[in-house]
A and B are shown apart, each in its own frame.
Chain A
Amino acid sequence: MSIEFKSLCKSFDGSRVLEDVSLAVEPGEVLFVIGTSGTGKSVLMRHVIGLHRPDSGEVWVHGQRVDLLSERELFEIRKRCGFVFQHPALLDFLSLEENVAMPLRRRFGLGRKDATERAVSWLSQVGITKDARSLPSEVGPGIRKRASIARVVALGPEYIVYDEPTTGLDLVNARRIDNLIRRLATETKVTTVVVSHDLRSIFGIADRVAFLYLGRLHALGSPEELRESNDPILSQFLRGRAEGPMVL
C-alpha cells in the first residue's frame, strides 16, 4: 500500500471531524475523496504530509508511519509527496517561474539559471508560457492553479494530493485541470489522491472513489459502482438533491 489510514480519529476544539477512518490508496491509482463541505476530506489528506496529527489511529506513507515523525523527519516524506493546496498558495512576491524554481533550488541545490530553465519547462507543460514572469496577482485563478500544480510536479513526487483543484474555476479551466491530473497520473505513474466535490471530475478521471460522510468512510468503489449504488445517502449526494436522508 502506498498511502494508508488506519482507524484515524481527529477532533478540533472538542468537535469530532474524523471518526475511525480506514482507507488504503493503491499505487498508481487516481483516488477521489468526496463528500459534503466540512466532512473532513481536506483534514484527512493533510495528515498524509504531517500538517495535522491524528488524535488516534495511524497514517502510513511509503511504508513509513508518518504520524509519529518530527517536522525534520517529515521532510523525507514531503520529498516523496506533493500537495496541491486548495488555494494556489503561490508566494505573492515571486513570479510564477520563481515560485516553481524556488523549491527546485532548495530541494535539488540547483543554481538560479538551471532552476529557472526547469521551471519554465514545467510551466509550459501545464500550458503557461507568456505569463511565466507574471506575479500571481497578475494572472487569473486557472493559471495560478496550474502554476501551483507545476510547482508540485516539478519536484517529481511519487504521490500527489490535490485539495479541491477545480473549486472556484469555470468549467473550461476545471476540465483543463482534470485533463492535466489524468495526464500526469498516466505519464508519470504517480499515485494521485484528489479531494473534490466536482462530480464531473469524479466521473471523468477517477479510478476509485471514497465517500466521506459525517467524518466516516461511508462508501468506497469505482465511479460506476458508486453510481449504481442503492445507498440513499450516497445517491442523494451524487444526484445533488436537497431533499433526502443526509444530515448536513
Chain B
Amino acid sequence: MNPKQEQLGPNHRFLAAVGASTMAPFWVAGAIVLLLPRALVGLKERGWPAREVLRQAYSAGNRSVLLVAVTLASVGMILVYHGGLQAQRVLGDMSPVGPAFIQILLREFGPTIVGLMVAARVGGGIAAEIGSMVVTEQIDALRMNAADPIRFLVTPRLIAVFLTTMALTVFGCAVAVASGAVTANVLFGVPHQSFLNLSMTEPGDLITGLIKAAAYGVYVPLAASWAGLSAGIGSEGVGRATTSGVVVGSLGIIVLSSVIGAVTFAFGL
C-alpha cells in the first residue's frame, strides 16, 4: 500500500482497489500495443540480429511441430466423430460432415487452437527467457551499451513467431483435415473425395483464418515480451513473468478471436 492509499478510508481504499483492478487489463493492453511500433522500428536499423531470428524461429517453429500435430490431430478426430454422429442421427446424410468441418476449421478452430498452443509453449518460453535476462541484468547491460532491448530482443522474436505461427497454422489445419478424413472414413465410411470438399468454404473463411493467424503471430510475442520485460526480482519474478506471459497471451487470443470474428462478419467475410 503506498502512502496515498494509507491516507484513504476503508471505503475509498476498496473503491481504489476495484478501480485499479478494472483498469489493469487496459494498462496491460496499452503497454503491449505500444511495444509494436518500437519493435517495428527495429527492423529499419542496420545490423539487427538475423541469426537470432533463425534461432527463435527454430525454437518456436520446429520444436512446436509435434505439439501442434498431436493437438490438431485430436481436434480433427473429435470434431469429425461428434459431427458425424449428429449428421448420422439428424440428417442421415454424411456428405456435409467434411465440408462443414473444413469450413469451421479454417475459419475458427485451426488458427485459434494453434495460437493457444503457441501462446502456451512459445509465449511462456519468451517470457521466461526475457524475464531471466531482466533478473541477470542483461537488459541493463544492453541499455549501458546504447542498445535498445526492444530492438535486440523483441524484434527478432516478433518476426520469428509471426512467420512460424502462420506456418504452424497451415500445417496444423492440414493435420486436422487429414485426421478428420481418416476418422470419417474409418468410423462412418465417408470416402476421402466426399470429405475433402470445399463447397462450404468461401474465400472469406480463408481470409478470416489468415487474419487471425497473423494477429496471433504478432500478439503472442509482444505479450510474452511485455511479461518478460516486466519481470520482478529473482526466480519468483521470472516465474510470475512466465505465468503472466501464458495467461495474457491466451486471454488475448480469445479476445482477438471474438473481435476479428465480429469485424470480419460485419464486413461480410
Number of interface residues of A (CB under 8 A): 26
Q: Is B3 an interface residue (CB 8 A)?
A: yes
User: Is the CB–CB distance between B144 and A83 below 8 Å?
Assistant: yes
Q: Which of A14, A85, A105, A106 contacts B141 (CB 8 A)?
A: A85
B86 to chain A, nearest CB (A): 50
Q: Which residues of chain B from 1 to 57 have a CB within 8 Å of any chain A CB?
A: 2-3, 47, 49, 51-52, 55
Q: Is B140 an interface residue (CB 8 A)?
A: yes
Q: Is A86 an interface residue (CB 8 A)?
A: yes
**Which B residues are in CB contact (< 8 Å) with A16?**
none
User: Is the CB–CB distance between A86 and B137 below 8 Å?
Assistant: yes
**Which A residues are in CB contact (< 8 Å) with B85?**
none
Q: Which of B2, B141, B152 contacts A89 (CB 8 A)?
A: B141
User: Is the CB–CB distance between B2 and A102 below 8 Å?
Assistant: no
**Which B residues are in CB contact (< 8 Å) with A107?**
145-146
Scoring A residues 68 to 89 as 1 if CB is less than 8 Å from chain B, else 0, what string do you get?
A: 0001000100100011011111
User: Is the CB–CB distance between B137 and A78 below 8 Å?
Assistant: no
Q: How far is the CA of A14 from the CA of B143 in the complex (A)?
A: 27
User: Is the CB–CB distance between A87 and B145 below 8 Å?
Assistant: no
Q: Is A28 an interface residue (CB 8 A)?
A: no
User: Is the CB–CB distance between B147 and A85 below 8 Å?
Assistant: no
**Which B residues are in CB contact (< 8 Å) with A49?**
144
Q: How far is the CA of A14 from the CA of B133 in the complex (A)?
A: 26
Q: Is B185 an interface residue (CB 8 A)?
A: no
B151 to chain A, nearest CB (A): 11
Q: How far is the CA of A105 from the CA of B147 in the complex (A)?
A: 11
Q: Which residues of chain B from 113 to 152 have a CB within 8 Å of any chain A CB?
A: 129, 133, 136-138, 140-147, 152
A200 to chain B, nearest CB (A): 24
**Chain B, Cβ-Cβ closest to A104:** B145
User: Is the CB–CB distance between B136 and A89 below 8 Å?
Assistant: yes
A65 to chain B, nearest CB (A): 19
Q: How far is the CA of A90 from the CA of B145 in the complex (A)?
A: 12
> Beyond A14-B2, A14-B3, A105-B47, is A92–B144 a contact (Cβ under 8 Å)?
no
Q: Which of A14, A86, A92, A103 contacts B145 (CB 8 A)?
A: A103
Q: Is A91 an interface residue (CB 8 A)?
A: yes
> Beyond A86-B137, A105-B47, A107-B146, is A93–B52 a contact (Cβ under 8 Å)?
yes
**Which B residues are in CB contact (< 8 Å) with A103?**
145-147
User: Is the CB–CB distance between A78 and B2 below 8 Å?
Assistant: no
**Chain B, Cβ-Cβ closest to A72:** B146
User: Is the CB–CB distance between A87 and B136 below 8 Å?
Assistant: yes
12 contacts between A and B (CB under 8 A): A14-B2, A51-B143, A78-B145, A78-B146, A88-B136, A89-B138, A91-B133, A91-B141, A91-B142, A93-B51, A103-B145, A105-B47
Closest 3 interchain pairs by CB?
A: A89-B141, A103-B145, A85-B137
